[in-house]
Each structure stands twice: as structure tokens, then as C-alpha cells.
Amino acid sequence: MKRGHFLLLAFVAVLLIAGTVFAQGDTITFLSTQFNVVEEAEKARAILAAFEGGAVEFVGSEEAAMIDLLKAEAQTGAGTVDVIGALHGTFPTLVNEDLMFDLTELLASIEEGTDVNDAFVQLGRMGTEDYQYYIPWMQATYTMAAHKDALQYLPEGADINALTWAQLAEWGKAMQEATGEPQLGFPVKGLFNRFLQGYAFPSFTGGMVTKFKSEAAVEMMRFLRDDLWPYVNPESINYDFMNGPLLSGEVMVAFDHVARLKPAFDERPQDFIAFPTPAGPAGRGFMPVVVGLGIPFTSPDPEGAEALIRFMLSPETQGAVLRDLGFYPVVSGVDTSNLPEGVAIQLGAVEALANSPDAIPALLPVGLGARGGEINEIFRNAFDRVVNKGEDIQTVLNEEAATLQTLLDETGAACWPPDAPSEGACQVE
């Protein structure tokens, strides 16, 4: 190698190393399991550009990769991640591994100026009384969406903002009779377990776990099998995100996560309306989904991380996230005028849902730790066996309730809302 080349290479290497060191000096690394799709990540970066406390590097990640990275950083003692943004369900593993700072003081200082949703703050304590594992960042939930053509078949006297499940079934029947095709759609391949846990069971039984094999639960399964499912598009077994079937016209009315309905409202806001999920005999069960912000012990810049969390919870940033990314605020005082049409339509349905007098908020399972996925399968199995395989309802519910009880006993999980709090492991009645 010529001497000149070598010098040049050495110079470039020094520049590169210096660059990374300086960049690390005042860059705050924000690792998030949300917005890890390219377009969303770009919007998130644009919002973060307004942060004045330094440059923020927004890195999208899958859940498992995030957990592995944080564990590895804790083992080596050398960290790169300052702030993490993740679903409530990601935190139990991080809590078990004892990886996160207590953010009680930070939250108290934020709450001096802004009111943060109390229910979510409570969730962020992960069952403890005085350890704030995460500060709520934003929320989402599930709503219904309908094509405007479907409204003409709405049963007489039914109020779309206060529907019952029975009226939805009637509506489905009317649409099928008029169009010759089943027009209701559910994401059975997607987040269907949340429909069962947060909507079907609470609406009919008032609980999620404790009433799993009650008479009301049997009646709910019978309703799903005999009254609702005949009018649900059979292709639902292959639906993952409902925006696709809505846009292609395979179904006219659908249930899904707001983020998974959003593309339909973005693309054709004039064609679709959003409305609250229906109510059952026990009330209007619904499941808020919460995303939290936490700081790992290994954060190289905890002051910067705290400043960034403060910024993320300001009403301005929360408004920007709602406007550009369609996730809902967790603080009060957010300006919701001037929203894009699609976002405004969905926000209306979410607010109507949360404020409806018979609402039963059902939380994501708490206290199951790494076995949180197992409860999803228990609910799905119960549904599959009754509706798709035609097994006897009470037998299925008894058997799956036994599996559920084993899971609760082995993890020692106490009951969570909407079930009443329990001493010790939650018990299926």
C-alpha cells in the first residue's frame, strides 16, 4: 500500500471514531416497539426534531429484540439505550429482570404541570405501590368501522353510538339478506383474542376471568355461534388487519384496533364512519391499550432521557402524535382541532366509547409475566372449539377454565379490572 493511501485511511478512521463518540455525547437514543414501520418512523422522527434538549435518535425495534438488547446491556454494564417506548405487555419481562429505573419522582414533577391519566399511571406501577416502571406515553383501543352504504340496513330505532351486540347481529342479518353476502368482519387471524377478552366477555359477564365459565359466558358463546357468526364473513379466519377487507369491499362493518383501521379512514374518509363497540347485558366492555416510556438502568444519559420523556408528555407533542400517527393522548389539555379528517372520525368514536355511561374498561392481563401470551390462546381455543368445531359450550368453557386456573395459580396473578381485586391468585368462579 502506498504511504499516502495509508495516511488517508487512518485519517478517515479517526474521523469516523470521533464522529460516533461525539454523536453519542449529546444524542439520546430512543428505542421503540411502536412506529417501527418506515413511514411511521419518519413521522416520529419529525415530531422528535422539535425536542430542544439534544438530538434524538429514534430506533424502531421488534419486542423480542428490544428485550434481548436490554438484557445484554445489563449484563455487560455498558448501555446505549436511553429511553424505551413499549406496550404495557412488554414491561413484565423487563420488571422480572429488574432493568428499569423508578420514575416516581419524574412523574410527580410532570404532573405538576400536566394531568396524566391515573388508570394508566397505576398500570405503569406493574402491581407495586411505589415503583413507577413506566410513564404512560399514548393509548389506543378498538372500535368498529362501517362503510356508509351499510347504514341504510341499521335496525330501526338503533343508535349507532349506543349499539348492542344483539342489534349488531340484526344489522348483520339485514345486510346479508339485502346484499346476499355476509358483511361483518372480525380479525380472527389478528388481534381477535382482545375482542374476546376486552369486549365479548366483559360485555356479557361483566368480568374477563372470574366469570369465564358462568351462565352468562355460556349465553355469550351461544350468541356468538348462533346469532352473530352466521352473518360474519367466513373469510374472517384469514383476516389480520381489517382495513384491507373494508377498502376492498369484502365487508361493510368491521371490528379492529384503531391503528389497523386507520388506513381505511386515511384513504377514503368520505366512505367510512367509526363508532363505539356495542354493549352487552352487562355493559360496554372495551380495552384500552397503553404504551409506556421507561428508562433502563444502563442509560448513558439519564438526564437527557428524563427531559425527552417530559417532552413526549407535553400536550403539544401528544397532539402531534395524535395528528400524525393516530395514537391517542394520555394527558389532558391536548388541542384536537385541525385534525386530519380520518383521525377526527376515529377520535370521535374513541371518545364516545370511553365516555359512554355503561363503559366497562377491561385491562390487559396483569401479573402473568412471560406467560402473558398463554391466556390469549386459552380465549382463542374456547372460541375455536365452540364456533368452528361445534363442541358443547359448557364442556369447552369448563376445560379451558381449568387451564386458565392452572395458569393463574402458577403465576400467582391477582385479578385485574374488570374483575374485582383478589387476595392471592385470581380464581375462576
Partner 1 sequence: MKKFPVTPYLLLLPSMIYLVLFFAYPMVQSLQLALRREGQFLHLRAEPAPEAAPVGTLEMQTEVRVLDRLRTEEVLPNGRTRPIYWFQVEAEDAAGSTIQGWVSQSNVFIESRTESTTARVVSGETTQEWTLDFLRRMVTDFRFGSALGTTILLIALILPLQFVLAIIMALVLQSQIRGSTIFLYIFTLPLGISDLASGILWYSIFTQRGFLNSFLVSTGLLDQPFIFIQAGNQGWMIAAIVLAEVWRATSIVMVIVVSGLQAISRDVIEAGEVFGANLWQRLRYIILPMLKPSLQVALILRTILAFQVFAVVVALTGGNVITVLANETYRWYDPARFNNPNVAASYAGFIMLLSLGISMFYLRAVRSQEEAEKAL
Q: Which residues form the interface with partner 1 (CB under 8 A)?
A: 63-64, 77-79, 96, 98, 101-102, 127-131, 180-181, 188-189, 233-235, 237-239, 248-250, 297-302, 370-374, 376-377, 380-381, 384-385, 387-388, 409-410, 412, 424-425
Buried b (16+ CB within 10 A) or exposed e, 163-179: bbbbbbbbbbbbbbeee
Closest residue by Cα to residue 247 from 229, 228, 224, 270: 270
Q: Which residue has the cell 364442556?
A: 395
Of 63 and 219, nearer to partner 1 (C-beta) is 63
Per-residue buried b or exposed e for 367-392, using 16+ beta carbons within 10 Å of the residue's own CB = bbeeebebbbebbbebbbbbbeeeee
d(CA 272, CA 246): 9
Nearest CB to partner 1, comparing residues 143 and 176: 176
- Tell me whether residue 131 or residue 340 sits nearer to partner 1 (CB atom): 131
Nearer to partner 1, 147 or 385 (CB): 385
**Before 234, cis peptide (omega within 30)?**
no
Measured CA to CA, the distance from residue 118 to residue 132 in angstroms comes to 12
Residue with Cβ nearer partner 1 (331 or 426): 426
Q: At its nearest, how many Å lie between partner 1 and the CB of residue 15?
A: 26
Helix (H, G, I), strand (E, B) or coil at 269: coil
Least distance in angstroms from the C-beta of 234 to partner 1? 3
The nearer residue to partner 1, 20 or 238, going by C-beta atoms, is: 238
Integer-rounded Cα Rg, in Å, for the chain is 24
Residue whose C-alpha is closest to residue 359's, from 289, 267, 420, 287: 287
Least distance in angstroms from the C-beta of 126 to partner 1:
10
Nearer to partner 1, 127 or 281 (CB): 127
Nearest to 93 by CA among 119, 120, 63: 63
Q: How many CB atoms lie within 10 A of CB 97?
A: 13
Beta carbon of residue 98, minimum distance to partner 1 (angstroms, whole number): 5
Minimum CB distance to partner 1, residue 39 (Å):
21
CB of 89 to partner 1, least distance (A): 9
Q: Which three cell numbers stand for residue 400?
A: 379451558
Q: How far is the CB of 156 from partner 1 (least distance, A)?
A: 27
